[in-house]
Amino acid sequence: MPWERRSAWLRGVFAGSRIRPALLVLGAGLVALWLYRTAAAREAERVTLASIDETQRAVAAFRIEVGRCPRSTTELVHPPRTRHRYLDALPTDGFGRPLRVRCPGHLDSLEADVLSAGPSGDFFIDDNLP
């Protein structure tokens, strides 16, 4: 019967020697893509944490010299009364977005919080980096 020959052809394609190597190559490509994206995400998080640490040191120096918290990260690059720049450029996270300074801090009123919006880029989604 004609319909029996069609299903036999389909079974032959999936059981044949051509599809298995193609599936193996496709699977290896997907694993390589996943490993690459995971490594890129880890690197972006490492860069973000280093930038946050540098910005926190700049905020602490600003508070000592000026006597108050900076209103934004712009004051760390262009301070109001001193000629000393605390940062060379506006701080960004590993995802290319600007950092945010919140003063006083959420947990400690004597400290300032430096925040990144995280991978999502939205402060209202719970993937922010401290």
CATH of the domain at 107: 3.30.700
Which of 13 and 27 is assigned the larger pLDDT?
27
- Number of structural domains the chain divides into: 1
Averaged pLDDT, 70-75: 85
Instruction: Dump pLDDT digits (tens) for 81-90.
Output: 777 888 888 8
The mean pLDDT of the chain is 81
Domain span at residue 38?
2-115
Q: Report whether pLDDT(11) > 70.
A: no
Contact 95, 48 (CB under 8 A): yes
Confidence of residue 29 (pLDDT cuts 50, 70, 90): very high
Q: Does some domain include residue 120?
A: no
